[in-house]
């Protein structure tokens, strides 16, 4: 069908699940047609949209923005939302959320994928410990992003087999909008030009098993029987409608790069070394936390530089990088291609990786922080003053809730002017916004829960390295050139512990040449 004909199939009041990860895998042509149909006819009205990962972004792929219209969108439940720079005008979906126009929820991405499985199997819901004592917990926000959502709770505490759990009741979608590269004449889908599978099987099954409509946007059509069986990621029996969109982008600002889809492996020499600056110093210190043979999840921010550090230090392959979108191994990509990996060993579905993360089977995770509080809890998911700068939690809660080792990285304060001179960190001007605060705005990671579970938590900044202890956050290393009292202790709203004289951070980190990184053996 045309995108317009497919859009006409959506009934008023539909619950629509959309497969996307910002610009990656976004079925933008179908979403645009739905928005245009509403503009022309006033239908579909009052739809609920489910987005395990954000649909669209602020960099050229509109995604959910096509349907973020009063009367069209009645409710949104998403793992993440379009985000971008604070200087840009906030997307319409954020205006609707902030003005309390529709109930909006931020549910951890892995739990949203779990809910699709429950809908497909016609089970009552998800019992999980993922998200306890975070914003997903009804003792805090219960995933609600505004007052209207708080008035319609979607999660509650229950006792089961003598233990406390979070319970998310199953949500049954009746329309799925997914995306692939190729569809054959029978609707079988393959993903050869995509950077990730994401979760189309779970989303299609949730709809198919409940009598709904599955719409697949693809780049091209092929003759029946020409897609090899093992290349079919979504069988045609799960699909009702094919929409061909030849101009669909592989990802944000990427028309098509065969290295993103694993069709070409790039020489290690082609990966740019990070520029020597303060961010690189932090990434180098994070790299020192790695152990040979680790399976490591990596998130957005400074930590995304660590794979490039290992290439520079001739240690590529010493750890296996993993990202929630599905790539295992290889080199996670940066900027607009984040969520993809080049030279990956395997690309599995997002729900598969989330199961691995939720169960704590991996060795470590490298994540960022916006704020840290006195209990060691971390906020990455919400800043009320600039909501569209943060995308929401995405898979952060699923990844961090049971990780054995966590390394959070970021700058000690926001807006500081920093420099490097003769192997020392120089603070030319102190930041205006403190990031170590008594109480964070949103608990994305619970320090209290981490202590209960025996998780190993490290915070790496340009000024110091800190550890989470049962008594609080302790400074264990300081950067050369930094004054402990003036530059660290006085810049935190809460009292940092200094259990002993902090060690000096490795001075070679602060010099431009290779610092001779040696990984520890896996324990």
Q: What is the pLDDT along the chain (523 residues), one digit of tens a residue?
A: 999 999 999 999 999 999 999 999 999 999 999 999 999 999 999 999 999 999 988 778 899 999 999 999 999 999 999 987 777 788 899 999 999 999 999 999 999 999 999 999 999 999 999 999 999 999 999 999 999 999 999 999 999 999 999 999 999 999 999 999 999 999 999 999 999 999 999 999 999 999 999 999 999 999 999 999 999 999 999 999 999 999 999 988 889 999 889 999 999 999 989 999 999 999 999 999 999 999 999 988 899 999 999 999 999 999 999 999 999 999 998 877 778 899 999 999 999 999 999 999 999 999 999 999 999 999 999 887 777 778 789 999 999 999 999 999 999 999 999 999 999 999 999 999 999 999 999 999 999 999 999 999 999 999 999 999 999 999 999 999 999 999 999 999 999 999 888 999 999 999 999 899 999 886 6
CA distances from 142 to 93, 149, 155, 163, 477 (A): 20, 9, 6, 19, 36
The helix, strand and coil proportions of the chain, stated in percent and rounded to the nearest 5, come to 25, 25, 50
Distance (Å, whole) CA 291 – CA 262: 26
Torsion of CA 86, 91, 92, 95, to 10 degrees: -20
- Which residues in 346-451 belong to E strands, given as ranges? 346-347, 364-368, 371-372, 378-379, 405-409, 413-414, 417-421, 424-429, 433-434
Backbone angles phi, psi at 237, to 5 degrees: -70, -15
What pLDDT is stored for residue 523 in this prediction? Answer: 62
Q: Which residues of 388-397 are buried (b: 16+ CB within 10 A; e: fewer)?
A: bbbbbbbbbb
Residue environment code for 32-53, b if the CB has 16+ CB neighbours within 10 A, otherwise e? bbbbebbeeeebbbebbbbbbb
In this structure, are residues 319 and 347 in contact, taking their beta carbons and an 8 Å threshold?
Answer: no
* pLDDT at res. 183: 98
- Alpha helices by DSSP H, listed for 272-395, are 278-287, 306-312, 350-358
Backbone angles phi, psi at 216, to 5 degrees: -115, 125
Q: Residue 90: enclosing H or E segment and its boundaries? A: none
Distance CA 104, CA 281 (A): 38
Q: At what angle do helices 200-208 and 109-121 cross, to 10 degrees?
A: 30
Q: What is the C-alpha to C-alpha distance for residues 61 and 69, in angstroms, rounded to an integer? A: 17
Give the separation between CA 430 and CA 434, rounded to whole angstroms. 10
Backbone torsions φ then ψ of 190, nearest 5 degrees:
-125, 160
Within 8 A by CB and 6+ apart from 300, the residues are 338, 368
Helix (H) or strand (E) holding 50: strand 47-51
pLDDT for position 392: 87
| pLDDT for 252 | 86
337, 195 Cβ separation under 8 angstroms: yes
Distance CA(92)–CA(151), nearest Å, equals 22
Taken in order 460, 462, 465, 470, is the CA torsion positive or negative? negative
Catalytic residue numbers, as ranges = 324
User: What are the backbone angles phi and psi of residue 317, rounded to the nearest 5°?
Assistant: 95, -10
| Beta carbons of 406 and 482 less than 8 angstroms apart | no
Closest CA to 256 of 333, 339, 342, 195: 195
Peptide bond into 209 cis (omega under 30): no
Q: Is 79 helix (H, G, I), strand (E, B) or coil?
A: coil
What distance in Å separates the CA atoms of residue 62 and residue 427, rounded to the nearest whole number? 40
CB atoms within 10 A of CB 262: 20
For 209-234, letters b (16+ CB in 10 Å) and e give eeebbbbbbbbeeeeeeebeeeebbb
């Amino acid at each position: 069908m045309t995108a317009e004909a497919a859009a006409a199939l959506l009934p008023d009041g539909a619950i629509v699940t959309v497969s996307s990860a910002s610009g990656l895998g976004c079925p933008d042509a179908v979403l645009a047609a739905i928005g245009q149909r509403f503009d022309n006819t006033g239908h579909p009205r009052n739809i609920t949209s489910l987005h395990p990962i954000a649909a669209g972004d602020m960099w050229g792929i509109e995604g959910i923005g096509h349907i973020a219209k009063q009367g069209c969108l009645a409710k949104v439940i998403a793992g993440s939302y379009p985000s971008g720079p604070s200087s840009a005008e906030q997307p319409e979906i954020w205006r609707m959320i902030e003005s309390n126009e529709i109930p909006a929820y931020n549910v951890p991405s892995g739990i949203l994928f779990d809910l699709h499985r429950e809908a497909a199997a016609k089970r009552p819901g998800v019992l999980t410990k993922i998200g306890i004592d975070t914003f997903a917990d009804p003792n805090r926000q219960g995933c609600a992003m505004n007052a209207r959502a708080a008035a319609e709770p979607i999660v509650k505490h229950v006792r089961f087999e003598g233990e406390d759990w979070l319970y998310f009741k199953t949500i049954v979608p009746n329309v799925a909008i997914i995306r692939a590269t190729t569809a054959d004449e029978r609707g079988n889908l393959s993903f050869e030009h995509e950077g990730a599978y994401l979760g189309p099987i779970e989303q299609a099954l949730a709809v198919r098993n409940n009598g709904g409509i599955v719409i697949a946007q693809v780049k091209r059509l092929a003759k029946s029987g020409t897609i090899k069986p093992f290349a079919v990621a979504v069988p045609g029996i799960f699909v009702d409608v094919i929409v061909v969109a030849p101009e669909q982008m592989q990802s944000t600002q990427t028309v098509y790069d065969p290295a993103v889809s694993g069709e070409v492996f790039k020489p290690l020499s082609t990966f740019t070394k990070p520029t020597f600056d303060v961010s690189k110093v932090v990434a180098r210190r994070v790299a020192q936390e790695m152990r040979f043979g680790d399976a490591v999840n990596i998130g957005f921010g400074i930590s995304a530089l660590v794979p490039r550090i290992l290439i520079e230090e001739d240690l590529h392959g010493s750890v296996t990088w993993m990202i929630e979108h599905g790539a295992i191994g290889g080199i996670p990509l940066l900027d607009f291609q984040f969520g993809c990996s080049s030279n990956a060993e395997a690309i599995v579905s997002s729900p598969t990786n989330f199961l691995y993360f939720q169960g704590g089977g991996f060795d470590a995770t490298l994540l960022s922080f916006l704020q840290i509080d006195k209990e060691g809890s971390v906020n990455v998911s919400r800043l009320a003053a600039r909501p569209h700068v943060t995308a929401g939690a995405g898979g952060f809660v699923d990844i961090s809730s049971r990780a054995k080792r966590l390394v959070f990285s970021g700058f000690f304060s926001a807006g500081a002017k920093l420099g490097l001179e003769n192997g020392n960190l120089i603070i030319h001007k102190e930041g205006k916004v403190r990031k170590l605060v008594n109480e964070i705005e949103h608990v994305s990671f619970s320090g209290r829960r981490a202590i209960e579970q025996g998780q190993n938590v490290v915070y790496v900044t340009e000024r110091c390295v800190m550890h989470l202890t049962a008594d609080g956050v302790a400074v264990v290393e300081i950067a050369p050139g930094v004054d402990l009292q003036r530059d660290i202790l006085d810049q935190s709203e809460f009292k940092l512990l200094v259990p002993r004289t902090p060690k000096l951070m490795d001075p070679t980190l602060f010099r431009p040449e290779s610092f001779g990184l040696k990984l520890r053996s896996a324990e």
